[in-house]
Structure 1
Amino acid sequence: MYDLTGFQRDLLYVIGGLDDPHGLALKAELEGYYDTEIHHGRLYPNLDTLVDKGLVEKLQMDRRTNLYKLTARGQREIDARREWEQQYLRDTLSAA
Protein backbone atom coordinates (compact mmCIF):
# COMPACT_ATOMS: atom_id res chain seq x y z
CA MET A 1 0.00 0.00 0.00
CA TYR A 2 3.08 2.21 0.30
CA ASP A 3 2.84 3.16 -3.38
CA LEU A 4 -0.77 4.40 -3.21
CA THR A 5 -1.79 8.02 -2.94
CA GLY A 6 -3.82 9.10 0.08
CA PHE A 7 -6.87 9.35 -2.18
CA GLN A 8 -6.39 5.77 -3.35
CA ARG A 9 -6.05 4.57 0.25
CA ASP A 10 -9.23 6.42 1.14
CA LEU A 11 -10.97 4.73 -1.79
CA LEU A 12 -9.88 1.32 -0.49
CA TYR A 13 -11.29 2.05 2.96
CA VAL A 14 -14.59 3.32 1.55
CA ILE A 15 -14.93 0.35 -0.80
CA GLY A 16 -14.35 -1.97 2.14
CA GLY A 17 -16.92 -0.17 4.27
CA LEU A 18 -19.86 0.11 1.89
CA ASP A 19 -22.42 -2.61 1.21
CA ASP A 20 -22.98 -1.46 -2.38
CA PRO A 21 -19.75 0.23 -3.50
CA HIS A 22 -20.60 1.59 -6.93
CA GLY A 23 -19.07 4.70 -8.45
CA LEU A 24 -21.68 7.24 -7.38
CA ALA A 25 -21.85 5.88 -3.83
CA LEU A 26 -18.05 6.08 -3.57
CA LYS A 27 -18.13 9.60 -4.98
CA ALA A 28 -20.76 10.70 -2.44
CA GLU A 29 -18.85 9.21 0.50
CA LEU A 30 -15.59 10.84 -0.51
CA GLU A 31 -17.26 14.19 -1.17
CA GLY A 32 -18.64 14.08 2.35
CA TYR A 33 -15.22 13.31 3.78
CA TYR A 34 -13.25 15.79 1.68
CA ASP A 35 -16.03 18.40 1.75
CA THR A 36 -15.47 19.12 -1.92
CA GLU A 37 -16.68 17.79 -5.27
CA ILE A 38 -14.88 14.72 -6.55
CA HIS A 39 -14.81 14.81 -10.33
CA HIS A 40 -15.27 11.67 -12.41
CA GLY A 41 -11.88 12.36 -13.99
CA ARG A 42 -10.30 11.87 -10.57
CA LEU A 43 -12.46 9.04 -9.25
CA TYR A 44 -12.52 6.53 -12.08
CA PRO A 45 -8.83 6.59 -13.07
CA ASN A 46 -7.95 5.99 -9.42
CA LEU A 47 -10.42 3.10 -9.23
CA ASP A 48 -8.84 1.66 -12.38
CA THR A 49 -5.41 1.92 -10.75
CA LEU A 50 -6.65 -0.04 -7.74
CA VAL A 51 -8.08 -2.67 -10.09
CA ASP A 52 -4.81 -2.84 -12.04
CA LYS A 53 -2.86 -3.31 -8.80
CA GLY A 54 -5.09 -6.26 -7.84
CA LEU A 55 -6.51 -4.55 -4.75
CA VAL A 56 -10.04 -4.11 -6.07
CA GLU A 57 -12.24 -6.15 -8.37
CA LYS A 58 -14.54 -4.39 -10.81
CA LEU A 59 -17.86 -6.17 -11.35
CA GLN A 60 -20.74 -5.22 -13.59
CA MET A 61 -23.98 -4.53 -11.69
CA ASP A 62 -25.97 -3.57 -14.78
CA ARG A 63 -25.22 -2.10 -18.19
CA ARG A 64 -24.32 1.29 -16.71
CA THR A 65 -23.12 0.56 -13.19
CA ASN A 66 -20.00 -1.15 -11.92
CA LEU A 67 -19.49 -2.47 -8.42
CA TYR A 68 -16.10 -2.37 -6.76
CA LYS A 69 -15.13 -5.02 -4.21
CA LEU A 70 -11.93 -5.48 -2.26
CA THR A 71 -9.90 -8.48 -3.30
CA ALA A 72 -8.35 -10.68 -0.65
CA ARG A 73 -5.09 -8.83 -1.30
CA GLY A 74 -6.83 -5.48 -0.88
CA GLN A 75 -8.22 -6.57 2.49
CA ARG A 76 -4.78 -7.81 3.59
CA GLU A 77 -3.27 -4.46 2.62
CA ILE A 78 -5.88 -2.59 4.68
CA ASP A 79 -5.32 -4.91 7.64
CA ALA A 80 -1.55 -4.44 7.44
CA ARG A 81 -1.93 -0.65 7.19
CA ARG A 82 -4.23 -0.53 10.21
CA GLU A 83 -1.78 -2.63 12.21
CA TRP A 84 1.04 -0.28 11.24
CA GLU A 85 -1.05 2.78 12.17
CA GLN A 86 -2.04 1.28 15.53
CA GLN A 87 1.59 0.79 16.46
CA TYR A 88 2.12 4.55 16.23
CA LEU A 89 -1.20 5.48 17.76
CA ARG A 90 -0.43 3.32 20.81
CA ASP A 91 2.97 4.98 21.15
CA THR A 92 1.33 8.41 20.93
CA LEU A 93 -1.36 7.57 23.45
CA SER A 94 1.06 6.08 25.96
CA ALA A 95 3.35 9.14 25.72
CA ALA A 96 0.48 11.50 26.60
Structure 2
Amino acid sequence: MNDLTGFQRDLLYVIAGADQPSGQDVKDEVETYYNSDINHGRLYPNLDTLVNKELVEKGQLDRRTNYYEISDRGRQAIEERREWEQQYIDQ
Protein backbone atom coordinates (compact mmCIF):
# COMPACT_ATOMS: atom_id res chain seq x y z
CA MET A 1 0.00 0.00 0.00
CA ASN A 2 3.02 2.25 0.35
CA ASP A 3 2.95 2.87 -3.41
CA LEU A 4 -0.60 4.26 -3.36
CA THR A 5 -1.44 7.94 -3.27
CA GLY A 6 -3.50 9.25 -0.38
CA PHE A 7 -6.45 9.57 -2.73
CA GLN A 8 -6.13 5.92 -3.77
CA ARG A 9 -5.96 4.85 -0.11
CA ASP A 10 -9.11 6.84 0.59
CA LEU A 11 -10.87 5.10 -2.30
CA LEU A 12 -9.74 1.74 -0.95
CA TYR A 13 -11.12 2.53 2.52
CA VAL A 14 -14.45 3.68 1.08
CA ILE A 15 -14.77 0.50 -0.97
CA ALA A 16 -13.83 -1.64 2.04
CA GLY A 17 -16.57 -0.01 4.08
CA ALA A 18 -19.37 -0.45 1.56
CA ASP A 19 -21.22 -3.35 0.01
CA GLN A 20 -20.25 -3.40 -3.67
CA PRO A 21 -20.50 0.35 -4.27
CA SER A 22 -20.78 1.70 -7.79
CA GLY A 23 -18.23 4.22 -9.00
CA GLN A 24 -20.83 6.93 -8.36
CA ASP A 25 -21.32 5.70 -4.79
CA VAL A 26 -17.56 5.87 -4.20
CA LYS A 27 -17.43 9.32 -5.79
CA ASP A 28 -20.26 10.63 -3.60
CA GLU A 29 -18.62 9.36 -0.42
CA VAL A 30 -15.19 10.77 -1.27
CA GLU A 31 -16.70 14.12 -2.27
CA THR A 32 -18.39 14.30 1.12
CA TYR A 33 -15.11 13.60 2.90
CA TYR A 34 -13.07 16.01 0.74
CA ASN A 35 -15.87 18.58 0.70
CA SER A 36 -15.19 19.18 -2.99
CA ASP A 37 -16.14 17.81 -6.39
CA ILE A 38 -14.17 14.88 -7.79
CA ASN A 39 -14.28 14.62 -11.55
CA HIS A 40 -14.56 11.35 -13.45
CA GLY A 41 -11.12 11.91 -15.00
CA ARG A 42 -9.59 11.66 -11.55
CA LEU A 43 -11.82 8.99 -10.06
CA TYR A 44 -11.91 6.21 -12.62
CA PRO A 45 -8.18 6.02 -13.47
CA ASN A 46 -7.49 5.73 -9.74
CA LEU A 47 -10.12 3.02 -9.33
CA ASP A 48 -8.53 1.21 -12.28
CA THR A 49 -5.15 1.42 -10.53
CA LEU A 50 -6.62 -0.29 -7.47
CA VAL A 51 -8.09 -3.00 -9.71
CA ASN A 52 -4.79 -3.46 -11.57
CA LYS A 53 -2.94 -3.81 -8.26
CA GLU A 54 -5.51 -6.49 -7.30
CA LEU A 55 -6.57 -4.57 -4.19
CA VAL A 56 -10.10 -4.18 -5.55
CA GLU A 57 -12.24 -6.33 -7.79
CA LYS A 58 -14.53 -4.79 -10.37
CA GLY A 59 -17.81 -6.33 -11.48
CA GLN A 60 -20.69 -5.26 -13.64
CA LEU A 61 -24.17 -4.43 -12.33
CA ASP A 62 -25.50 -3.62 -15.78
CA ARG A 63 -24.09 -2.41 -19.09
CA ARG A 64 -23.45 1.06 -17.75
CA THR A 65 -22.67 0.48 -14.08
CA ASN A 66 -19.71 -1.24 -12.47
CA TYR A 67 -19.36 -2.13 -8.83
CA TYR A 68 -16.21 -2.38 -6.77
CA GLU A 69 -15.37 -4.79 -3.98
CA ILE A 70 -12.34 -5.05 -1.73
CA SER A 71 -10.22 -8.11 -2.41
CA ASP A 72 -8.50 -10.27 0.18
CA ARG A 73 -5.25 -8.62 -0.86
CA GLY A 74 -6.83 -5.20 -0.34
CA ARG A 75 -8.03 -6.16 3.14
CA GLN A 76 -4.56 -7.41 4.01
CA ALA A 77 -3.03 -4.15 2.77
CA ILE A 78 -5.40 -2.15 4.98
CA GLU A 79 -4.58 -4.31 8.00
CA GLU A 80 -0.84 -3.90 7.43
CA ARG A 81 -1.29 -0.14 7.06
CA ARG A 82 -3.25 0.02 10.33
CA GLU A 83 -0.51 -1.89 12.14
CA TRP A 84 2.14 0.44 10.74
CA GLU A 85 0.14 3.53 11.76
CA GLN A 86 -0.59 2.14 15.22
CA GLN A 87 3.08 1.90 16.13
CA TYR A 88 3.30 5.69 15.86
CA ILE A 89 -0.03 6.48 17.50
CA ASP A 90 0.65 4.40 20.61
CA GLN A 91 3.90 6.15 21.48
The question of a shared fold, defined as TM-score above 0.5 by the shorter chain, is answered with: yes
CA distance in structure 1 between the aligned counterparts of 2:21 and 2:15, rounded to whole angstroms:
6
Aligned residue-pair number: 91
- Structure 1 residue runs of 5 or longer lacking an equivalent are 92-96
Q: How does 1:9-28 map to 2 (within 5 A)?
A: 9-28=9-28
SS at match of 2:14: helix
Displacement of 1:87 in angstroms is 1.2
Tell which deviates more after alignment, 16-25 or 68-77: 16-25
For 1:35, the aligned partner's letter is: N
Q: Which residue pairs with 1:83 in the alignment?
A: 83
SS at match of 2:90: helix
For 1:32, the aligned partner's letter is: T
CA distance in structure 2 between the aligned counterparts of 1:11 and 1:71, rounded to whole angstroms:
13
Runs of 4+ in 1 over 6 A off after TM superposition: none
RMSD: 0.7
Q: Is the 8 A contact 2:19 2:69 kept in 1?
A: no
CA distance in structure 2 between the aligned counterparts of 1:64 and 1:4, rounded to whole angstroms:
27
Q: Which residue pairs with 1:57 in the alignment?
A: 57
Residue 72 of structure 2 corresponds to residue 72 of structure 1 = yes
Q: Is the 8 A contact 2:12 2:70 kept in 1?
A: yes
- Structure 2 residue runs of 5 or longer lacking an equivalent are none
For 2:16, the aligned partner's letter is: G
Deviation by residue 1:19-54 (Cα, 9 ceiling, x = unmatched): 231111100000000000000000000000011111
CA distance in structure 2 between the aligned counterparts of 1:20 and 1:53, rounded to whole angstroms:
18
